[in-house]
Amino acid sequence: MNFPQPYTLKQIANILQCFYVGDSDFLITGCNEIHRVVAGNIVFVDHPKYYDKALQSAATVVLINKEVDCPQGKALLISEDPFRDFNILTSFFKPFQKAETYVAPSAKIGNNVVLQPGVFIGNNVVIGDNTVIHANVSIYDSTEIGTNVVVQANTVLGSDAFYYKNRPEGFDQLLSSGIVKIEDNVHVGSSCTIDRGVSAITHLKQGTKIDNQVHVGHDTIIGEKCLIASQTGIAGCVEIGNEVTIWGQVGITSGITIGDKVVISAKSGVSKSLAANKHYFGIPADDFRSKYKEIAAIRQIPELIEKVKNLQ
């Protein structure tokens, strides 16, 4: 999330009512969670396990719950509860805007766009020319849709990220301030859910086709000309290359990378990054040929047990 203009370290500390380490005039341009942070950003960290990752990240300012040595060229915001304070910044810079109509007046809709009955379009949405949005689709605030896009019925674009902190009183949600961006010639099937970024972008690149009942988690990037079959679930912060094929009911864990032209067979479980130009299958997903050899070997076990018994 970018701020409307740069803020000083002191100004941000005043918003959060917290102590800071660094030059009071140190300029900050936005805030992002750790997977998408860039120079000029604030990133938050509230567990010692991740201190080094946050402090050595591209972030200019680290919102942290302990005073530590500050890396050169950076600044710290010392907070009792960085998770809570990151939400305070989100609410301050990008507060929730209540919808007043089915199609927000601030939406920018191109030429020859078809909106079927029951479509909801939130604030500051952009839709390119020759796009078709079918019945009962919900498009949340600030979503960007390119030209020649088709979105089938009952799909939701831009819902909140599934990101929670477990507290004694219950789960606390990290507020979402990011967007969904869909490039040209993308097709999204019926009853899909594509979550917006926590503070950056969930991005579907040009030419990708998504089947019905697919879920795409926050801040995930899907490359060009991908095919994703029905009931696939993709967690947050996944990076998928170009021309990847993912067959039905595949589950993909968060924070991994899938290389170009990968094929993942149906019902596979992807728990680690996958190298490009290979075919994968199984739980956990592995090289297609190796996995089938493994299955073939397992099938021989009963026969081998019988042979051992007969030797006795």
Residues acting as catalytic residues: 218
* Token pair in block for residue 291: 């996995």
- Cβ partners under 8 Å of residue 5, min gap 6: none
- Using alpha carbons, select from 185, 202, 186, 183 the residue that is nearest to residue 194: 202
Length of the chain: 312
Q: Which residues of 218-248 are buried (b: 16+ CB within 10 A; e: fewer)?
A: bbbbbbbbbebbbbbebbbbbbbbbbbebbb
CA distance linking residue 149 with residue 152, whole number of Å: 10
| Distance from C-alpha of 161 to C-alpha of 234, rounded to nearest angstrom | 12
Reading the block at residue 277, the tokens are: 């130009």
Sheet holding 233-234, edge to edge: 120-121, 138-139, 156-159, 193-195, 215-216, 233-234, 251-252, 269-270
For residue 284, cis peptide bond before it (omega within 30 degrees of 0): yes
CA proximity to 253, closest of 209, 229, 220: 220
